[in-house]
Amino acid sequence: GEDVEQSLFLSVREGDSSVINCTYTDSSSTYLYWYKQEPGAGLQLLTYIFSNMDMKQDQRLTVLLNKKDKHLSLRIADTQTGDSAIYFCAESSHQGGKLIFGQGTELSVKP
């Protein structure tokens, strides 16, 4: 079945770049997402990318997609302490469809 994998933890210093990686198995994935979860809260959509794109940039966020290797990454430039959260990768095969989530990567930003 479909599977999405992420490493569980990442620690960076304030001001550095963070790179969170994700791999997925479903070759029919059409949409790939990054969600952010702050402590005690629900998930918020950060950004998403269509499978026919290689890259998407949105202010400090850069998403890279390697469809051949089924690898997705999220780069956060100039990481701030407010970026500390759990980041989830997710995939879907169609708009409005159910999402398959990775385990989440807990990002810790040290001053």
Partner 1 sequence: NAGVTQTPKFRVLKTGQSMTLLCAQDMNHEYMYWYRQDPGMGLRLIHYSVGEGTTAKGEVPDGYNVSRLKKQNFLLGLESAAPSQTSVYFCASSGQFSNEQFFGPGTRLTVL
Nearest residue (CB) to partner 1, 74 versus 100? 100
User: Within 13 Å and on the Cβ side, how many CA atoms surround 35?
Assistant: 16
Give the interface with partner 1 as residue ranges (CB under 8 A).
4, 6, 8, 31, 33, 40-45, 48, 88, 95-96, 98-104
- Dihedral, 89, 74, 68, 97 alpha carbons, nearest 10: 30
Scanning the structure block, which residue is given the tokens 């026919």? 52
Q: What is the closest distance, in whole angstroms, from the C-beta atom of residue 95 to partner 1 in the complex? A: 5
Comparison of 14 and 51: residue with beta carbon closer to partner 1? 51
Closest CA to 109 of 38, 32, 56: 38
Nearest distance, CB of residue 1 and partner 1, angstroms:
8
User: What are the Cα distances from residue 65, in Å, to 36, 40, 61, 80?
Assistant: 18, 30, 13, 24
Nearer to partner 1, 7 or 17 (CB): 7
Cβ pair 8, 105 in contact under 8 A:
yes
Minimum Å gap between C-beta 62 and partner 1 is: 18
In the complex, what is the shortest distance from the CB of residue 98 to partner 1, in angstroms, rounded to a whole number? 6
Nearest to partner 1 of 18, 105 (CB atom): 105
